[in-house]
């Protein structure tokens, strides 16, 4: 599973520093729409039958049908705004609508008519990319280019906010500036933002999450990882907040379902929003991630999982509340462990060091080059080391922070920012962010349990105070009423006091703080509000420190990146930007892999219903619905039988270059018809985020035939099948 949000975010820096380069290899490449004209011939040769040029037209078919859910990808599949994405991408909404009495996670959900559709989890969006513009010269204009540090970041932010504000004058749209090539280029991306999203259909967990964490990132796979949303707009056809008066959105384009099943070696293509890749990082960044950060992350995640399981044991309500969080943590826990295993069995660092050393040799071999890039490359190494030291020392902070202290900080920061004119406010605290902040605070209750949250905070606070004092944040401890040598009993007593002293757990109380001013905050005796105020000065200090560093890194890293592009270019190699949550296209073929699995074995390109019956244990992660097992047993294959596979295909493998954020992406055939939905990669190749290997990297997708078979034969979703045009 590639999931959208990593709850405990590692990298809090403004500018995502990501660089990348194409290789001559077959299926590597997350192409930007602008780059597509350059690979038209490759697409044609690979078997694409539609005009490749159409792929660079964002508002035409098929790109107009591909949408972002903010962290996941999805696509329109009917003229009534029906959207298909992964079950794990809709999991938050399924969980949000579940109660112990009406357990949609376990039983699945099917709206038989529009009025039965359920509001998605607050904050849900359907975003349709309508324009991409290179604004590098406007973000780093001549004035900004002369600045460094915090001043540089501030100037960039002013430019960014102005561009965004102008862009968002087109009501119903959301605009963002994304950094490409590690801050060398900036693109302004404009998206239609549909605010009213509803849950239409999800299969039972025993289908949508069949195999659970055991099968996650694994092959052979048998997961029906699909669900349906519907986009709603106001009666005027414009995006509007949820209202019973809203009507289904009529997308300009939607995908048609393929009528022919995929076969081995067929051309396939994925369009979607990959989150992040790190294919050309510095050796020191590789070393820090794999030597320090990932091991720390794996350790902490394992503890989070244990604590959530322990504290929700026999508490069905708490279990449902934490199901989504747990799935996310488990997912990244396994992912990072897989990366680390590959890293330890390989020679990535050696290769990085070798190529970085070659780059430096090349730079220094020529006077002009040395003058142009030399300082930038040297500075980058030094600044990255500073940044990584900060990340390492502050690693446990977010784990040790009670959920409502985080809320209090957001609320107090908002009150502070609201004293400024909107355009001067910090990004994330402007008027355009108001509803996102509100929804964030609104949604907490359905995913929060005090017992769990407190146990997590106590556990990590203990670790935090066990660190050398010089790495501890005195302001943070002081705000919690703790000393640097606090023992477990004291931590517990103090946290009990803090949790008891706050009313932020009450939704109405919490949301009311969104409207209050600074005087209200200062007069409050809410324990977490008081702690947030106490922390404010230090939070500002850390933010300024980070901005100073970020400004310098951006300037240096852009130089390094320029040098790298020039170096590669001198060797005839093109460079494409690493993934950065913007719309990309990747293409490849349906293809198994050998060797794989045990000695002498390989992976077939398809799994089938036979494997579901074989894996089913009737409990836990392998608990297929009885109706499904009965249909398999009776060979009720309908028209979805594949004679070569002697059953209905379930999941398939393809040589596609995807990563987290691509979850929910449609897999299109040579005619750009919908043939399945990408949802995962394989554990021994997840290191492809850093180090792509054509021989091993595979995307795992749900076959359309399985989705339709399950909907028709098992879930009797005839209303949706009709809407999808299935006869």
- Of 449-488, binders to its own copies (CB under 8 A) are none
We find the least distance from the C-beta atom of residue 606 to its own copies, in angstroms, to be 7
Taking CB under 8 A as the criterion, the residue among 610, 636, 694, 696 binding its own copies is 610
Rounded Cα distance between 225 and 703, Å, is 10
**Piece of the chain touching its own copies by CB under 8 A; list 354-362, 518-526, 602-610, 616-624:** 602-610
Active site residue 38: no
Taking CB under 8 A as the criterion, the residue among 596, 627, 721, 726 binding its own copies is 596
Rounded Cα distance between 64 and 666, Å, is 13
We find the least distance from the C-beta atom of residue 204 to its own copies, in angstroms, to be 21
We find the least distance from the C-beta atom of residue 327 to its own copies, in angstroms, to be 23
**In this structure, what token pair is assigned to residue 631?**
């249909």
Choosing from 205, 215, 225, 689, the catalytic residue is 225
Taking CB under 8 A as the criterion, the residue among 113, 142, 313, 598 binding its own copies is 598
222 binds its own copies (CB under 8 A): yes
Q: How many CB atoms lie within 10 A of CB 199?
A: 25
**Element of type H or E holding 518:** helix 518-523
Question: If you search the block for the tokens 């003229």, which residue do you land on?
Answer: 79
Taking the least distance from each CB to its own copies, the nearer of 4 and 206 is 206
Q: 118 CB contacts (<8 Å, ≥6 apart)?
A: 93, 97, 109, 111, 198, 199
Rounded Cα distance between 83 and 24, Å, is 35
On whether the CB atoms of residues 587 and 656 are closer than 8 A, the answer is: yes
Give 538: exposed, middle or buried? Use CB within 10 Å, 0-12, 13-18, 19+: middle
Active site residue 148: no
**Piece of the chain touching its own copies by CB under 8 A; list 282-290, 437-445, 494-502, 594-602:** 594-602
Choosing from 78, 550, 663, 685, the catalytic residue is 663
We find the least distance from the C-beta atom of residue 694 to its own copies, in angstroms, to be 13
603 binds its own copies (CB under 8 A): yes
Give 152: exposed, middle or buried? Use CB within 10 Å, 0-12, 13-18, 19+: buried
Rounded Cα distance between 179 and 691, Å, is 21
Q: 436 CB contacts (<8 Å, ≥6 apart)?
A: 123
* Mask for 254-273, x = binds its own copies (CB under 8 A): ----------x---------
We find the least distance from the C-beta atom of residue 647 to its own copies, in angstroms, to be 8
Q: What is the DSSP letter of 594?
A: S
We find the least distance from the C-beta atom of residue 602 to its own copies, in angstroms, to be 4
Taking the least distance from each CB to its own copies, the nearer of 247 and 596 is 596
Question: If you search the block for the tokens 């792929």, which residue do you land on?
Answer: 55
Taking CB under 8 A as the criterion, the residue among 412, 606, 674, 706 binding its own copies is 606
Q: How far does CA 104 lie from the centroid of its chain? A: 23
605 binds its own copies (CB under 8 A): yes
220 binds its own copies (CB under 8 A): yes
614 binds its own copies (CB under 8 A): yes
Phi, psi of 226 (to 5 degrees): -140, 150
Q: How far does CA 196 lie from the centroid of its chain? A: 21
Taking CB under 8 A as the criterion, the residue among 101, 115, 525, 599 binding its own copies is 599
655 binds its own copies (CB under 8 A): no
Give 236: exposed, middle or buried? Use CB within 10 Å, 0-12, 13-18, 19+: exposed
Rounded Cα distance between 306 and 298, Å, is 12
592 binds its own copies (CB under 8 A): yes
List 667's β-bridge partners, or say none.
Answer: 270, 676
**In this structure, what token pair is assigned to residue 407?**
């809320």
611 binds its own copies (CB under 8 A): yes
We find the least distance from the C-beta atom of residue 727 to its own copies, in angstroms, to be 29
**Piece of the chain touching its own copies by CB under 8 A; list 75-83, 547-555, 560-568, 605-613:** 605-613
HEC secondary structure over 168-225: CCCCCEEEEEEEECCCCEEEEEEEEEECEEEEEEECCHHHHCCCHHHHCCCCCCCCCC
Active site residue 25: no
**In this structure, what token pair is assigned to residue 144?**
């900004």
On whether the CB atoms of residues 21 and 576 are closer than 8 A, the answer is: yes
Taking the least distance from each CB to its own copies, the nearer of 181 and 640 is 640
600 binds its own copies (CB under 8 A): yes
Q: How many CB atoms lie within 10 A of CB 117?
A: 20
Taking CB under 8 A as the criterion, the residue among 601, 618, 638, 639 binding its own copies is 601
Taking CB under 8 A as the criterion, the residue among 293, 407, 582, 651 binding its own copies is 651
We find the least distance from the C-beta atom of residue 610 to its own copies, in angstroms, to be 5
Q: Apex CA 694: angle with CA 688 and CA 699, to 5°?
A: 65
**Piece of the chain touching its own copies by CB under 8 A; list 142-150, 216-224, 420-428, 502-510:** 216-224
Taking CB under 8 A as the criterion, the residue among 221, 336, 413, 418 binding its own copies is 221
Give the three-class secondary structure for 485.
coil
Count residues near its own copies (CB under 8 A): 26
**Piece of the chain touching its own copies by CB under 8 A; list 133-141, 573-581, 591-599, 703-711:** 591-599
Taking CB under 8 A as the criterion, the residue among 37, 237, 346, 595 binding its own copies is 595
Taking CB under 8 A as the criterion, the residue among 246, 494, 608, 616 binding its own copies is 608
Taking CB under 8 A as the criterion, the residue among 645, 648, 654, 724 binding its own copies is 645
Taking the least distance from each CB to its own copies, the nearer of 453 and 703 is 703
Taking the least distance from each CB to its own copies, the nearer of 55 and 653 is 653
324 binds its own copies (CB under 8 A): no
**In this structure, what token pair is assigned to residue 301?**
């995640």
Taking the least distance from each CB to its own copies, the nearer of 183 and 649 is 649
We find the least distance from the C-beta atom of residue 594 to its own copies, in angstroms, to be 4
Taking the least distance from each CB to its own copies, the nearer of 387 and 593 is 593
Rounded Cα distance between 110 and 104, Å, is 9
Rounded Cα distance between 227 and 201, Å, is 6
Rounded Cα distance between 723 and 11, Å, is 43
Choosing from 88, 187, 201, 459, the catalytic residue is 88
Rounded Cα distance between 612 and 211, Å, is 9
We find the least distance from the C-beta atom of residue 215 to its own copies, in angstroms, to be 11
Taking the least distance from each CB to its own copies, the nearer of 467 and 646 is 646
597 binds its own copies (CB under 8 A): yes
Provide the greatest CA pair distance for the chain.
76
We find the least distance from the C-beta atom of residue 344 to its own copies, in angstroms, to be 14
Q: How far does CA 608 lie from the centroid of its chain? A: 29
602 binds its own copies (CB under 8 A): yes
**In this structure, what token pair is assigned to residue 487?**
């023992």
Taking the least distance from each CB to its own copies, the nearer of 383 and 700 is 700
Taking the least distance from each CB to its own copies, the nearer of 463 and 696 is 696
Could you tell me the strand order of the sheet in which 606-608 lies?
584-589, 267-272, 666-668, 674-681, 699-703, 649-654, 606-608
Residues binding its own copies (CB under 8 A):
219-222, 264, 592, 594-608, 610-611, 614, 645, 651
Q: Which residues are catalytically annotated?
A: 88, 225, 663
């Amino acid at each position: 599973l590639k999931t959208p949000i990593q709850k405990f975010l590692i990298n809090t820096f403004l500018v995502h520093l990501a660089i990348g380069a194409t290789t001559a290899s077959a299926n590597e490449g997350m192409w930007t729409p602008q780059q597509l004209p350059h690979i038209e011939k490759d697409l044609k040769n690979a078997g694409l039958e539609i005009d490749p040029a159409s792929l660079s037209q964002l508002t035409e078919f098929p790109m107009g049908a591909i949408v972002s859910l903010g962290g996941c990808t999805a696509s329109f599949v009917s003229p009534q705004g029906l959207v298909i994405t992964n079950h794990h991408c809709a999991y938050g909404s399924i969980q949000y609508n579940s109660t112990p009495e009406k357990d949609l996670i376990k039983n699945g959900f099917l709206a038989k008519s529009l009025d039965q559709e359920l509001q998605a989890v607050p904050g849900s969006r359907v975003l349709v990319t309508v324009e991409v513009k290179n604004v590098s010269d406007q973000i780093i204009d001549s004035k900004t280019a002369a600045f460094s540090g915090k001043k540089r970041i501030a100037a960039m932010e002013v430019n960014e906010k102005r561009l965004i504000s102008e862009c968002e004058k087109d009501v119903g749209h959301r605009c963002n500036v994304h950094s490409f090539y590690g801050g060398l280029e900036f693109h302004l991306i404009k998206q239609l933002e549909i605010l009213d999203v509803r849950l239409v259909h999800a299969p039972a967990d025993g289908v949508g999450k069949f195999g659970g964490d055991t099968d996650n990132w694994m092959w052979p796979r048998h997961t029906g990882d699909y669900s349906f949303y519907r986009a709603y707009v106001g009666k005027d056809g414009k995006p509007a907040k949820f209202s019973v008066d809203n009507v289904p959105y009529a997308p300009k384009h939607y995908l048609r379902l393929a009528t022919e099943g995929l076969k081995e070696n067929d051309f396939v293509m994925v369009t979607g929003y990959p989150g992040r890749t790190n294919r050309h990082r510095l050796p020191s960044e590789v070393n820090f991630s794999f030597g320090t950060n990932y091991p720390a992350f794996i350790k902490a995640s394992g503890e989070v999982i244990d604590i959530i399981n322990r504290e929700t044991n026999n508490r069905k309500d708490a279990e449902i509340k934490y199901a989504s969080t747990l799935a996310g943590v488990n997912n990244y826990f396994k992912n990072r462990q897989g990366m680390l295993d590959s890293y330890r069995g390989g020679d990535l660092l050696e290769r990085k060091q070798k190529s970085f050393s070659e780059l430096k040799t090349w730079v220094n071999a020529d006077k002009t080059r040395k003058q142009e890039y030399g300082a930038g490359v040297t500075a980058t190494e030094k600044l990255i080391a500073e940044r990584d030291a900060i990340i390492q020392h502050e690693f446990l902070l977010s784990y040790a922070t009670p959920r409502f202290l985080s809320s209090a900080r957001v609320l107090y920061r908002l009150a502070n920012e609201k004293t400024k004119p909107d355009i001067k406010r910090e990004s994330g605290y402007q008027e355009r962010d108001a509803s996102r902040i509100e929804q964030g605070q609104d949604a907490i209750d359905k995913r929060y349990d005090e017992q769990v949250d407190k146990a997590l905070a106590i556990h990590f606070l203990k670790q935090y105070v066990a660190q050398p004092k010089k790495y501890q944040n005195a302001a943070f401890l002081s705000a919690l009423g703790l000393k640097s040598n606090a023992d477990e009993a004291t931590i517990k007593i103090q946290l009990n006091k803090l949790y008891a002293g706050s009313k932020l757990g009450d939704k109405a109380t919490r949301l009311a703080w969104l409207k209050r001013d600074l005087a209200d905050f200062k007069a409050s005796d809410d324990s977490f509000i008081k702690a947030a105020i106490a922390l404010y000065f230090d939070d500002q200090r850390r933010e300024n420190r980070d901005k100073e560093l970020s400004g310098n890194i951006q300037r240096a890293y852009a130089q390094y990146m320029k040098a790298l592009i020039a170096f590669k270019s001198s060797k005839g190699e093109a460079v494409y930007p690493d993934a950065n949550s913007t719309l990309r296209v990747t293409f490849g073929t349906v293809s198994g892999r050998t060797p794989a699995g045990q000695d002498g074995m390989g992976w077939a390109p398809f799994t089938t219903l036979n494997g579901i019956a074989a894996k089913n244990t009737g409990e836990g992660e392998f608990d297929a619905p009885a109706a499904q097992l009965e249909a398999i047993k009776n060979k009720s294959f309908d028209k979805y039988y594949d004679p070569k596979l002697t059953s209905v295909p379930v999941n398939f493998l393809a040589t596609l270059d995807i990563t987290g954020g691509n979850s929910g992406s449609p897999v299109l055939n040579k005619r750009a018809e919908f043939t399945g939905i990408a949802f995962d990669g394989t554990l021994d190749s997840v290191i492809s985020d850093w180090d792509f290997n054509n021989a091993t990297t595979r995307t795992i997708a749900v076959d359309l035939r399985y989705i339709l078979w399950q909907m028709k034969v098992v879930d009797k979703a005839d209303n949706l099948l009709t809407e999808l045009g299935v006869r």
